[in-house]
Amino acid sequence: MPGLPDEQIQPERASSTASDGHEVPTSNVPTTTIAAHSPYSRTSNAAPSPYLADNTPTVKTSSTSVSSPSVIADLISQDIYLCTTIDLIAASEGSATPSLVYFRESVESPFVTPYDAVNWKLFKDRVIEAAAHTLSLASATLAVQELHRARRNCLPQSKALSMYNNACEDFGVMMGSAGVNPDVVLMTAFMLSLFEVLVPQHVSQRPLGQSHGPLISMLEAWAYSDNSYTALSLRIGSWLLISHAAARRSGNPGLLAPALQDVLAHACSSHIEVPSLIAGSNVPLADHVITTLSNALFMFYFRLELLSTRVADLSHYHRGRTTGCDQEEVSMLMSALQQQIEALWVDRPTLMRYPAGDMRTQIASDAAEPLVLMVALCRLTYLTELVEIGRNLSDTQCASTEARTHMAEAREIISASDWYRGSSNVVEPACLRTLFLYAIESFDESDTNWAISKMREIKDPICYSEFFASFAEGLTEEQRAKGRRVTTKWWCWRAFGITPPYL
Which pLDDT value is given to residue 178? 83
User: According to the model, what pLDDT value does residue 81 have?
Assistant: 92
Q: Are residues 462 and 352 in the same domain?
A: no
Q: Which domain does 77 fall in, by range? A: 7-96
Q: Which residues pair with 229 in a beta bridge?
A: none
Question: Within a domain: residue 38?
Answer: yes
Q: How far apart are CA 28 and CA 63, in angstroms?
A: 11
What pLDDT sits at residue 133? Answer: 94
- Other CB atoms within 10 A of residue 106 CB: 12
- Per the CB < 8 A criterion, the answer to whether 501 and 492 are in contact is no
Q: For position 65, what pLDDT does the model report?
A: 56
Is 437 found in the same domain as 405? no
Side chain identity at residue 71, one-letter code: V
pLDDT at 40: 31
Of 42, 62, 96, at which residue does a domain stop?
96
Do 168 and 247 lie in one domain? The reply is yes
Model's pTM, two decimal places?
0.83
pLDDT of residue 17: 44
Cβ neighbours of 434 (radius 10 Å): 25
CA distances from 58 to 4, 10, 76, 85, 196 (A): 12, 17, 18, 12, 43
388 close to 382: Cβ distance less than 8 angstroms: no
Q: Both 61 and 114 in a single domain?
A: no
Q: Please check whether residue 273 lies inside any domain of the structure.
A: yes
CB within 8 A of 368, min separation 6: which ones? 359, 360, 362
Number of structural domains, the chain?
Answer: 4
- The burial of 433, by beta-carbon neighbours within 10 Å (0-12 exposed, 13-18 middle, 19 or more buried), is given as buried
Same domain for 106 and 206: yes
- Domain assignment present for residue 440? The answer is yes
- In 117-230, where does DSSP find H-type helix? 117-131, 135-152, 158-175, 182-198, 214-223
From 247, 279, 311, the end of a domain falls on 279
Tell me, yes or no, whether 338 lies in a domain.
yes
Angle at 142 between CA 140 and CA 147, to 5 degrees: 95
Contacts 24+ apart (CB under 8 A), 86-89: 86/40, 86/56, 86/57, 86/59, 89/53, 89/56, 89/57
Looking at the structure, tell me whether residues 177 and 40 fall in a common domain.
Answer: no
Does 2 fall in a domain? no
275, 299: one domain? no
**Is there a domain that residue 307 lies in?**
yes
Res 481: pLDDT: 94
Q: Which residues make beta-bridge pairs with 24?
A: 16
Residues of the chain with pLDDT below 70 are: 1-66, 94-97, 226-227, 280-281, 417, 419-425
CA distance 493 to 243: 22
Q: Are residues 32 and 133 in the same domain?
A: no
Domain-embedded: residue 1 = no
**Domain boundary at 279, 314, 330, which?**
279
- Is residue 396 located within the same domain as residue 292? yes
CA dist., res. 386 & res. 438, Å (int): 12
In a domain, residue 166? The reply is yes
**Whether 185 contacts 214, CB under 8 Å:** no
Distance CA 252, CA 317 (A): 8
| Domain identity same for 123 and 265 | yes
What is the model's pLDDT at position 465?
96
Instruction: Find the DSSP H helices in 270-416.
Output: 285-313, 324-346, 356-362, 365-393, 401-415
Dist. CA 479–CA 466, nearest whole Å? 20
Does residue 213 sit in the same domain as residue 267?
A: yes
Q: What are phi and psi of 187, to 5 degrees?
A: -60, -45
The number of beta carbons lying within 10 Å of the beta carbon of residue 448 is 22
Measure the CA–CA gap between 110 and 430, rounded to whole angstroms. 7
CB 420 within 8 A of CB 414: yes
Residues 308 and 227 in one domain: no
